[in-house]
């Protein structure tokens, strides 16, 4: 349906994939891999191929999805909050934190594109307390 998306919380490697209708096309994603910080992040070919392979799992085997079917791909860098006492990536917080210093400096770290409003609300709430 063109008004509904799909989310599968268990891809072949245990990550989440979603499908969203957009301008008579479909957005599929995402990946979540460590990367170098850059001003112009781009998805790797491996990330694009991973998503294509996962998309194939939802289609009729007679439907062939090829790299050339990808009209656009983009990438972003999400800052994650880590515990310096836990070196593995599973210890990275997937949410955000709001910290108010003893001098009332408010710092917000972590978070996701999909939770920016809640992050902003918490930061403003901290500012007016």
- State the Rg of the chain over Cα: 18
Mark whether 48 and 99 lie in a shared domain. no
Q: Is the domain of 26 the same as that of 62?
A: yes
Same domain, yes or no: 65 and 104: no
Q: Look up residue 93 and give its DSSP letter.
A: B
Q: Is residue 1 part of a domain?
A: no
Show the domain range for 111: 89-128
CA atoms of 50 and 44, how far apart (whole Å): 10
Q: For the chain, how many structural domains are there in total? A: 2
Mean pLDDT for 64-88 is 83
**Domain check: are 18 and 64 in the same one?**
yes
Task: Return the H-helix or E-strand segment holding 49.
Answer: helix 45-56
Q: pTM for this one? A: 0.70
Mean per-residue pLDDT, 1-17: 85
pLDDT reading at 113 higher than 80 = no
């Amino acid at each position: 349906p063109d008004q509904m998306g799909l989310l599968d919380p268990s891809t072949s490697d245990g990550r989440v994939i979603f499908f969203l209708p957009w301008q008579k096309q479909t957005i599929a994603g995402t990946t979540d891999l460590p990367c170098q910080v850059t001003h112009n992040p781009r998805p790797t070919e491996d990330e694009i191929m991973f998503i294509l392979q996962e998309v194939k799992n939802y289609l009729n085997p007679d439907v062939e999805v090829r790299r050339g079917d990808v009209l656009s791909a983009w990438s972003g860098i999400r800052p994650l909050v880590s515990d310096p006492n836990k070196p593995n990536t599973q210890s990275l917080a997937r949410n955000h934190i709001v910290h108010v210093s003893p001098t009332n400096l408010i710092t917000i770290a972590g978070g996701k594109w999909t939770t920016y409003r809640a992050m902003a609300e918490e930061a403003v709430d901290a500012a007016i307390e």
